[in-house]
Amino acid sequence: MEKERRPIMESDAQNWEAEFDPGLERGLGIYGRKRLDYLKNYRPAVYREMQEGAFLRRHLEETDRLAYQWLDEMLPALAKSAGATQELKARDPLQWAGLMNSCKAQVEEIIYAQLVYA
């Protein structure tokens, strides 16, 4: 038995357009997109307020810019304190890569906790 299909209503199309705005994510980095996803799914009132106030895009761009700035500032200092030097890179590239991956993961945890999911 075939299910009865209901016709697509104009309000359905408007709801879909409100949910899916491909231009909003264009030009954003990973942190801006993750912040957008967080706001949509876990802070819908804040998301709607920002959208209505027309500063959602600016907020996402600022979040993205700040996250990359934190990454650029914190990663070298953390790598240095972990011992990921150029000498280690030349001597043992696998260990150096492991240390760098660990440092980047630590910095990203800080970025997610204090900026993206705050």
In the chain, where are the structural domains located? 56-118
pLDDT band of residue 14 (cuts 50, 70, 90) is very low
Average pLDDT over residues 62-76: 97
What is the percent of the chain with per-residue pLDDT over 70, rounded to a whole number?
80
Whole-number pLDDT of residue 41: 95
**DSSP 3-state of 67:** helix
Per-residue confidence (pLDDT) for residue 16, from 0 to 100 = 42
Cβ neighbourhood burial of 19 (10 Å; 0-12, 13-18, 19+)? exposed
- CB 67 within 8 Å of CB 115: yes
Q: How confident is the model at residue 25 (pLDDT cuts 50, 70, 90)?
A: confident
pLDDT at 10 over 80: no
Per-residue pLDDT, averaged over 83-94, amounts to: 96
Sign of the dihedral defined by the CA atoms of residues 26, 29, 34, 36, in that order: negative
Mean pLDDT of 95-107: 97
Mean pLDDT, residues 37-61 = 94
